[in-house]
Structure formats: structure tokens, C-alpha cells
């Protein structure tokens, strides 16, 4: 006989001194796809809202292409504005900033995020070995590196303990088989023997046996619905980070055409595209992605802001300007821009509000047990 079984209520997520009502961290999607509107709405709905810092100042009146360094000034000022705006949307929610270690203004943006009241700093695109130096005056801010293997976590923990007598407040653990954008520290789409469960297990063992602590682990990559969240919690993750699913929401800061392009996407549209950072990236099929894969001369190879420490576009005239490619897509030019996406793309009927989506992801659901 069939009977109804109520799935459990999702637990809260503690990151340092901050507690989110639900174990859901919103993904950071540049350029101005994940801004104050999205981050504030997610924080207001009980998740961790995250502002993506890459390229915030690109369309700012403070950015003058004729003045060297003005892009970085514009970025800093734009981050201050976005944090203030997000906080007006969610006065008591948990709001974070994602900062890429590989960008030239990483130290300034980390210091700015801390000074301007961010609750959490999440880093990507490199190992944040000296991040605690930038936030030393702000002990309440939680520091959360993104990693994709145990070795990266071990190195960060060892360096932070030795230099700063502290450990990360959590880790974002990337499932390189499914994560959108760059495969951070993971060059293969399907590494032999890889499973996200084995990474989580190895990290838990290292924390317990070598450090004598428990550090929250937040899995990112391919998280789409409540079943995916339950699956990650079942393998001992403390939470999940969701990116692509938040794009098709009213509050997402991207152009409506960008959202609708994602709305129509399916698994067959996922492509692996080369990037000027020297790593593969996961994106949706369009004219730009196909030209980038083919190495077409039709792609503009002009650096527009000198934003990265190492860039194949600027340094050797290869690939394309990452900032420009992401910006074009986010502004609605969905054929001539780069559209990052996670691998776990499923049908979405319509663009909905964050409140609706968070309710769908978090409310206990009735399952049928046979």
C-alpha cells in the first residue's frame, strides 16, 4: 500500500557568526547577473545572497576608458553601492560578496567588502592564501574559499593556521563535473574516479583527524531542485550553492533576454568553451561559444579593462576578453556574449520570483513511498 512521507525541514546554515534560515547560498554570476537585487532578495528569503564583484564598475560613470586604473576605482565604488542597496532590501539577511583571487583588484575589493558590511566573502579563481590579512580589522566577516579538491583545502588550512591562527569559516566545494563557468582546479570534465561524495568524505576525515574541527562544506555544481539539495545533505554537506536556477527569476540583475535564453536551454545546449584564464568553462551554446571553440577570427581580441592578473587575451592576443564577453551576454546580447551555465539544466516553465523559487526549494514536500 502507498503512503505519504513528508520530507524533513531543511536545517539552517551557520557560516562563522552568521546564520541563514536555509542551507542555500546563491551563486555569484558576473557581470551584474548577481547584483544587489538578486542578493538582497535571496537573503530576504532566508538564503545567503551573494554579489558578484567581477565587472561591477564596467557600466559605471566612474569608469573612463581613457584613464588608466579608473576601472578599479569604478569597481570599488560600485561594490559599495551594491552592498548598500542589498542591505536596504534585506536588513537582517546574510549577504556576501564573491571576489576572484585572479583579479588585479582582489585585495581592494576584499577590504572594501569587509569595511562596507558584507557578512561573508567567498573567493574563487585561485587560492586566497593571504585573505585574512585584508580583513584583519573585521573579525565578524566570514571567509569562505572555493575549492574542488582536498589538497587545496589542506593548503589553505595549513597556511591560515600558521600565519593567522585561524581557519576558513566554510568551504564552497565545487563539483567540477557539473559546476557552471570555469572548472576551478579541475581540468577534466569527468576525472577518473571522481565523485563529489568522495571529496566531501575526505574533507570530513581531514578536518576531524588532522585539525580536530568541523568546517561547514557547501557543495556547488548542478544543484537544481529540492531533491538535489536533499542528495547533497545526505552525503554530509552542510549546504548547497545554487547559481543557474536563480537566473530565471524576476530579481536577477541580468537583462530579460538573458533570463529567457536560460529559460529555453536544455542539457544538449551545454558546451565546454576555452577561456582567457587558461581553463575550460561550461556555457550555453550560441554563436559566440561556437566561434570561441573554433578559434574564429571573428571574435574580438581586445582587452577592455586589464582586470585579470593573467589573461591570454591581453598577454598574447588569444581567445577573447572575458569581461566583455560576460557583460554582453548579461546585457542581453545573447548571441555575441558568453553565457555561463551549470551542467544540470532542466526545463523551467517561466520566470518566477525569488520568493516562489525559495519556497519551492525549501518547503517540506510530500513524497509517495511504495
**Residues 206-257: tens digit of each pLDDT:** 999 989 999 999 998 888 889 889 999 999 999 999 998 999 999 999 999 9
pLDDT, position 154 = 94
Q: Which residue has the higher pLDDT, 56 or 342?
A: 56
Instruction: Using the predicted structure, report yes or no on whether residue 128 has a pLDDT greater than 90.
Output: yes
Is residue 312 very low, low, confident or very high in pLDDT (cuts 50, 70, 90)?
low
What confidence tens digit (pLDDT) does each residue in 211-223 have?
A: 999 999 999 888 8
Contact residues for 205 (Cβ-Cβ < 8 A; gap 6+): none
Judged by DSSP in three states, 242 sits in strand
- Which has the higher per-residue pLDDT, 295 or 3? 295
Cβ burial of 260 (10 Å; 0-12, 13-18, 19+) is middle
For residue 88, pLDDT over 80 is answered with yes
pLDDT at 84 over 90: yes
- Per the prediction, the chain carries an average pLDDT of 85
Cα–Cα dist 50/295, whole Å: 33
- The predicted pLDDT at position 309 comes to 58
| pTM over 0.85, yes/no | yes
Q: What is the pLDDT of residue 339?
A: 83
Amino acid at each position: 500500500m502507498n503512503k505519504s512521507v513528508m520530507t524533513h525541514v531543511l536545517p539552517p546554515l551557520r557560516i562563522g557568526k552568521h546564520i541563514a534560515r536555509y542551507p542555500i547560498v546563491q551563486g555569484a554570476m558576473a557581470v551584474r547577473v548577481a547584483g544587489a537585487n538578486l542578493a538582497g532578495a535571496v537573503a530576504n528569503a532566508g538564503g545567503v545572497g551573494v554579489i558578484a564583484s567581477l565587472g561591477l564598475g564596467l557600466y559605471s560613470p566612474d569608469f573612463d576608458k581613457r584613464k588608466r586604473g579608473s576601472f578599479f576605482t569604478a569597481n570599488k565604488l560600485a561594490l559599495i553601492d551594491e552592498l548598500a542597496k542589498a542591505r536596504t532590501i534585506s536588513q537582517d539577511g546574510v549577504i556576501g560578496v564573491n571576489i576572484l583571487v585572479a583579479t588585479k583588484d582582489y585585495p581592494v575589493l576584499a577590504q572594501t567588502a569587509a569595511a562596507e558590511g558584507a557578512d561573508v566573502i567567498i573567493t574563487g579563481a585561485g587560492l586566497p592564501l593571504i585573505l585574512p590579512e585584508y580583513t584583519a580589522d573585521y573579525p565578524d566577516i566570514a571567509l569562505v574559499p572555493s575549492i574542488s579538491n582536498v589538497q587545496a583545502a589542506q593548503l589553505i588550512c595549513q597556511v591560515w593556521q600558521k600565519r593567522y591562527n585561524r581557519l576558513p569559516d566554510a568551504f564552497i566545494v565545487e563539483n567540477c563535473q557539473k559546476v557552471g563557468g570555469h572548472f576551478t582546479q579541475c581540468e577534466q570534465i569527468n576525472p577518473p574516479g571522481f565523485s563529489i561524495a568522495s571529496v566531501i568524505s575526505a574533507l570530513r576525515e581531514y578536518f576531524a583527524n588532522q585539525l580536530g574541527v568541523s568546517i561547514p562544506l557547501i557543495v556547488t555544481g548542478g544543484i537544481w531542485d529540492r531533491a538535489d539539495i536533499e542528495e547533497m545533505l545526505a552525503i554530509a554537506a552542510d549546504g548547497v550553492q545554487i547559481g543557474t536556477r536563480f537566473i530565471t527569476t524576476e530579481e536577477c540583475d541580468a537583462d530579460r533576454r538573458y533570463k529567457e535564453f536560460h529559460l529555453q536551454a536544455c542539457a544538449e545546449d551545454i558546451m565546454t568553451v576555452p577561456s582567457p584564464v587558461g581553463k575550460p568553462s561550461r556555457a550555453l551554446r550560441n554563436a559566440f561559444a561556437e566561434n570561441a571553440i573554433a578559434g574564429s577570427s571573428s571574435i574580438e581580441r581586445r582587452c577592455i579593462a586589464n582586470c585579470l592578473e593573467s589573461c591570454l587575451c591581453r598577454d598574447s592576443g588569444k581567445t577573447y576578453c572575458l569581461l566583455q564577453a560576460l557583460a554582453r551576454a548579461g546585457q542581453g546580447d545573447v548571441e555575441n556574449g558568453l553565457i555561463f551555465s551549470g551542467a544540470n539544466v532542466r526545463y523551467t516553465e517561466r520566470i518566477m520570483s525569488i520568493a516562489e523559487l525559495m519556497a519551492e526549494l525549501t518547503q517540506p514536500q510530500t513524497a509517495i513511498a511504495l
